[in-house]
Amino acid sequence: MFFISLMKKLRKVTDLVDVFEPEDHNDHVDNWKEQLEKNKQWISWYRDIENCVQELEQIINKMRYVKNGDYYSAEDHNLFVSAWEKEIEIDEKIAPNAPVLLKLKQLLSQLPRLAPGDFYFAMYHNIFADAWILQEQINALTKLPPSMNLIFSEDWDYTKSPSMNLIFSEDWGYPAPPSMNLIFSEDWGE
């Protein structure tokens, strides 16, 4: 399966220069909804992420869209932090050895949880912007295998009646997936 990235690039901002715009928040929410759909598609190949994806969905369902005049609250920021924490858990299961994952974890470790009344610095928004760039790299590394092909083999054992057996094969086109390899053997009746 091939993913076309629909992630929105978050703009970089500067304290005391840039004014908060609804798109700064809303694009982030849209990106989470897009990432959730990707994660849901991966469940069929990475079964151990299913609970994390469900928990991430619960977090995303609490996110809101803002409009001009709305206040950006500590809860808005903290939902993004919680979502990233859950996404890291997912990424660790689907791309555990990816160097970009370490970069993402280091970047996100700089984000605090905010309490009501805390200042929201441009640095926090810019970390989210950079995190999406890294997440897209992880998404690109995580390929879903093509569907299984059916191949029939003939059983040439003359002591039994002729039969055809199903064999499933996969043409990955890239290194083996993180799953068990099946080895088929033949019994020639010797």
In our burial notation (b when 16+ CB lie closer than 10 A, e otherwise), range 23-60 reads ebbbbbbbbbebbbebbeebbebbeebeebbebbbebb
* 186 in a structural domain: no
Q: What is the pLDDT of residue 159?
A: 59
Q: What are phi and psi of 97, to 5 degrees?
A: -105, 10
**CA pair distance 123, 127, nearest whole angstrom:** 6
The yes-or-no verdict on residue 158 having pLDDT over 70 is: no
> In terms of DSSP bridges, do strands 149-155 and 163-169 run parallel, antiparallel, or are they unpaired?
antiparallel
What is the pLDDT, as a whole number, of residue 44? 83
**Is residue 17 predicted with pLDDT exceeding 60?**
yes
Residue type at 186? E
Residue 33 lies in a domain: yes
Q: What is the pLDDT of residue 176?
A: 53
Q: Which of 166, 146, 139, 145 is nearest to 154 (CA)?
A: 166
Domain that holds residue 118: 22-141
- Confidence check: pLDDT of 15 > 80: no
Query: Residue 56 has what pLDDT?
Result: 97
Q: How many domains does the chain have?
A: 1
pLDDT of residue 145: 55
Domain assignment present for residue 11? The answer is no
Q: Is 70 helix (H, G, I), strand (E, B) or coil?
A: coil
Name residues whose C-beta falls within 8 Å of residue 19's C-beta, 6 or more positions apart in sequence: none
Two tokens, residue 173: 């086109």
Q: Is 50 exceeded by the pLDDT of residue 1?
A: no
Tokens coding 54: 């469900």
| Residue 106 within a domain | yes
Q: What would the pLDDT profile of 34-90 be if each residue is shown by its tens digit? A: 999 999 988 888 889 999 999 999 999 999 999 998 888 999 999 999 999 999 999
Q: 24-31 long-range CB contacts below 8 Å, 24 or more apart?
A: 24/125, 25/65, 25/66, 25/72, 25/76, 26/65, 26/66, 28/80, 28/128, 28/132, 29/60, 29/63, 29/64, 29/65, 31/7, 31/132
* 173 against 97, higher pLDDT: 97
Query: DSSP strand E in 60-180: where?
Result: 149-155, 163-169
* 3 state SS of 168: strand
How do residues 105-130 score in pLDDT, each as one tens digit? 999 999 999 999 898 888 998 999 99
Task: Kindly state whether residue 80 falls inside one of the protein's structural domains.
Answer: yes
Asked if pLDDT for residue 8 goes beyond 90, the answer is no
pLDDT of residue 170: 52
* pLDDT tens per residue across span 21-33: 878 888 999 999 9
Residue 173 lies in a domain: no
Average pLDDT taken over every residue of the chain: 80
Q: What is the pLDDT of residues 134-151, one digit of tens each?
A: 999 999 887 655 444 444
Residue 2's pLDDT is what?
A: 44
Please indicate, yes or no, if residue 171 is contained in any of the structural domains.
no
Kindly report, residue by residue over 159-174, the tens digit of the pLDDT.
555 555 544 455 555 5
Q: Would residue 115 count as lying in a domain?
A: yes
